[in-house]
């Protein structure tokens, strides 16, 4: 390779600034900042490096600095939104820097004119974001120049100009770049840099929010990121009594707990084999008698949840209060507390055979492993319910189901996949397999348990985290990463929750009185 060719090769390296870089930095700043005041002095750069060396970042090419980004940490509440550049930087001395602050404040980003168009500024912004996340700071805030405003100052306000830049009707060399890097404009600041005549001394107050920020770090008991799910694909078999049934339940809870799962999900009507005891009755009378066992089963499941240290979602069971027969799923938390979710939509078959009625409420439940929702079988086929839960910051949707045929199963399966994508959450489904020859209306079963995810680069290519074999009694155990959901909602290829046109439509829950 010739020497000339070697000299033409770029060798870019991201690193922290050193005082010996001053001449390169001064040359870039002087060429760019003719109006806003020129370059920092060497003494000012020395002070900045002394105050916060980790926050002063540059990119070099073959040993020469070609771009840089400067920042400090501040307790933002001490300054508020109506600050000036000089106030928040301590007139360039960075004596306003505080290691105990909550905000990374960006003071300068500049790129050598010969390196424009190489996306070097984006690399610096990404490095700042990484620094903000690693230091667990709430956000990055900066005062942004709007140099293009000089061409429009006589015909529109700064706010109008900013709106047009946001809508890409106008290009601003600074603001357009910042918006493309996921910053949003909080407000317009006046007299931010009085010497910035191009911006008419106006500036945008920009913010990038660190979605991983944890306000109060605890040594134990923090919100989990990796959550392990255990799903039981349950085989229907004859049980002579509740003790036999609970022996099988305990076997699966024990097994799932052995894999250190955070949740154990059972199917809808997993206790249906006990209906065989009432085979001489008609279907509606039999299921009301089955409801007599529900309280005992829930109590024993709750004990298992505590004993085996796993949150148990008890599929569903019938509940009868003497007036209404309903289908309910119990959440038995491993701290001993309980919650329940009624099935809201009743299939024509359930209404005709049993006289089931739907419940009237829906909730997101807090657990020690994330915020969860429960939709029983048919309910997952109504997208409004999943969206209402997603608006309450649900992380995982559990769907216990019972289906007799493959086409019935495919309705639940396909809709569950859709709920995961449109609501940017995980969805776990499981049902029962096998046959119950002496149980009317629940004689055959079809299931394939699965865990679904959103469909984007951070998740499995087919949006399936795990999937069981069809129609075999088994369990599946898999991990889901809740931090990936946070990333998806704020930085995904598409953002189904964030980008809804709420100016055109919304979903309203009508609470029954």
pLDDT tens, residue by residue, 407-433: 999 999 999 999 999 999 999 999 999
Tokens describing residue 57: 């970042």
- Whether the CB-CB separation of 362 and 376 falls below 8 Å is answered with no
SS (H, E, C) 45-78: HHHHHHHCHHHCEEEEECCEEEEEEEEEEECHHH
User: Given pLDDT bands bounded at 50, 70 and 90, which one contains residue 231?
Assistant: very high
The Cα–Cα gap between 212 and 63 comes to 34
Position 474 pLDDT exceeds 70: yes
Residue 75: other Cβ atoms inside 10 A = 13
Percent of the chain scored above 90 by pLDDT? 71
Residue 5 above 60 pLDDT? no
Give φ, ψ of 101 to 5 degrees.
Answer: -70, 175
pLDDT at residue 220, as a whole number: 59
Distance of alpha carbon 17 from alpha carbon 60, whole angstroms = 10
Closest CA to 397 of 380, 381, 374, 414: 374
Question: Is-contact 215 197, C-beta < 8 A?
Answer: no
Where do the CATH 3.60.110.10 domains begin and end in the chain? 226-490
343 is catalytic: yes
Residues 199 and 146 sit within 8 Å (Cβ to Cβ): yes
Q: Is the pLDDT of residue 1 over 60?
A: no
DSSP characters for 308-350?
A: TT-EEE--BEEEE-SS-EEEEEEEE-TTS-EEEEE-----HHH
pLDDT of residue 4: 53
Q: Which CATH topology does 12-209 take?
A: Aminopeptidase (3.40.630)
**Confidence at residue 7, expressed as pLDDT on a 0 to 100 scale:** 54
Does 425 qualify as catalytic in the annotation? no
d(CA 88, CA 104): 11
Q: What is the dihedral of CA 153, 159, 164, 168, to 10 degrees?
A: 110
Residue 218 has pLDDT above 80, yes or no: no
Classify burial at 46, counting beta carbons within 10 Å of its beta carbon; exposed 0-12, middle 13-18, buried 19 or more: middle
- pLDDT reported for residue 512: 61
Q: Pick from 399, 349, 389: which is nearest to 365 by CA?
A: 389
At 194 the pLDDT is 84
Q: What predicted TM-score, i.e. pTM, was given to this entire model?
A: 0.78
User: Pick the catalytic residue: 58, 264, 332, 377?
Assistant: 377
Report the C-alpha gap between 237 and 266 in whole angstroms: 15
Contact 430, 451 (CB under 8 A): no
Segment 237-252, tens digit of pLDDT: 888 899 999 999 999 9
Q: Is 288 helix (H, G, I), strand (E, B) or coil?
A: helix
Distance of CA 281 to the CA centre of its chain: 49
Least confident window among 199-203, 328-332, 449-453: 199-203
Architecture of domain 226-490: 4-Layer Sandwich (3.60)
Question: What's the angle, vertex CA 256, arms to CA 252 and CA 258, rounded to 5?
Answer: 115
Q: Which helix (H) or strand (E) segment is 480 a member of?
A: strand 474-481
Q: 222: pLDDT confidence band, cut at 50, 70 and 90?
A: low
- Give the best-scoring range by mean pLDDT among 84-93, 186-195, 328-337: 328-337
- Give Cα 33 to chain centroid, integer Å: 40
The residue behind tokens 């199963």 is: 409
Pick the catalytic residue: 268, 319, 350, 381? 268
Q: One of 343, 417, 424, 425 is an active-site residue; which one? A: 343
pLDDT score of 215 more than 80: no
Listed in order, the ranges of the chain carrying CATH 3.40.630.30 are 12-209
Q: Cα–Cα distance between 235 and 233 in angstroms, integer?
A: 7
Average pLDDT, the chain: 91
| pLDDT at res. 282 | 87
Position 3 scores a pLDDT of 47
| Residue 333 Ramachandran class (φ > 0 left, ψ -120 to 50 alpha, else beta) | beta
Instruction: Give bridge partners of residue 478 from the DSSP assignment.
Output: 229
Q: Select from 383, 371, 449, 460 the least CA-distant residue to 418.
A: 383
- State yes or no: is 223 an active-site residue: no
What proportion of the chain, given as a percentage, has pLDDT over 70?
96
Using an 8 Å Cβ cutoff, are 257 and 250 in contact?
Answer: no
* Dist CA 414 CA 411 (whole Å): 5
């Amino acid at each position: 390779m010739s020497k000339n060719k070697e000299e033409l090769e770029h060798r870019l390296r991201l690193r922290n600034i050193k005082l010996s870089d001053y001449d390169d930095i001064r040359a870039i700043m002087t060429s760019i900042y003719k109006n806003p005041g020129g370059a920092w002095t060497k003494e000012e750069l020395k002070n900045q490096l002394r105050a916060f060396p980790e926050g002063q970042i540059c990119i070099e090419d073959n040993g020469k600095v070609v771009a840089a980004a400067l920042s400090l940490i501040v307790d933002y509440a001490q300054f508020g939104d109506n600050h000036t550049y000089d106030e928040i930087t301590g007139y360039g001395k960075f004596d306003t820097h505080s290691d105990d602050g909550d905000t990374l404040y960006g003071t300068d980003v500049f790129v050598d004119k010969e390196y424009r168009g190489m996306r070097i500024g984006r690399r610096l912004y990404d490095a700042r974001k990484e620094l903000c996340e690693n230091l667990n700071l709430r956000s990055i805030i900066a005062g942004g120049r709007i140099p293009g405003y000089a061409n429009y100052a006589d015909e529109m306000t700064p706010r109008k100009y900013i709106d047009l830049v946001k809508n890409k009707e106008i290009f601003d060399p600074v603001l357009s770049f910042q918006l493309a890097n996921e910053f949003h404009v909080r407000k317009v600041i006046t007299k931010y840099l009085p010497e910035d005549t191009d911006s008419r001394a106006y500036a945008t107050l920009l913010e990038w929010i660190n979605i991983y920020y944890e306000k109060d770090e605890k040594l134990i008991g923090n919100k989990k990121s990796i959550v392990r799910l255990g799903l039981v694909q349950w085989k229907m078999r004859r049980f002579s009594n509740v003790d036999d049934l609970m022996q099988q339940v305990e076997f699966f809870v024990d097994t799932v707990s052995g894999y250190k799962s955070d949740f154990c999900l059972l199917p809808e009507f997993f206790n249906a084999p006990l209906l065989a005891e009432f085979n001489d009755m008609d279907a509606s009378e039999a299921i009301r008698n089955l409801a007599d066992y529900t309280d005992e089963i829930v109590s024993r499941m709750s004990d298992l949840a505590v004993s085996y240290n796993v949150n148990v979602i008890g599929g569903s069971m019938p509940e009868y209060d003497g007036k209404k027969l309903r289908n309910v799923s119990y959440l038995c938390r491993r701290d001993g507390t309980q919650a329940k979710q009624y099935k809201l939509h009743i299939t024509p078959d359930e209404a005709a055979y049993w006289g089931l009625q739907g419940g009237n409420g829906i909730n997101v439940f807090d657990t020690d492993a994330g915020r969860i929702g429960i939709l029983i079988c048919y309910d997952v086929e109504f997208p409004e319910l999943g969206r209402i839960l997603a608006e309450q910051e649900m992380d995982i949707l559990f769907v216990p189901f019972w289906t007799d045929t493959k086409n019935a199963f495919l309705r639940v399966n396909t809709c569950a996949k859709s709920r995961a994508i449109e609501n940017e959450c995980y969805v776990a489904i499981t049902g029962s397999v096998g046959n119950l020859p002496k149980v009317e209306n629940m004689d055959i079963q079809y299931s394939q348990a699965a865990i679904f995810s959103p469909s984007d680069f951070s998740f499995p290519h087919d949006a399936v985290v795990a999937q069981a074999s069809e129609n075999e009694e088994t369990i599946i155990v898999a991990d889901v990463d809740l931090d990936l959901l946070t990333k998806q909602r704020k930085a995904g290829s598409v953002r189904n929750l964030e980008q809804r046109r709420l100016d055109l439509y919304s979903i309203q829950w009508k609470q029954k009185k």
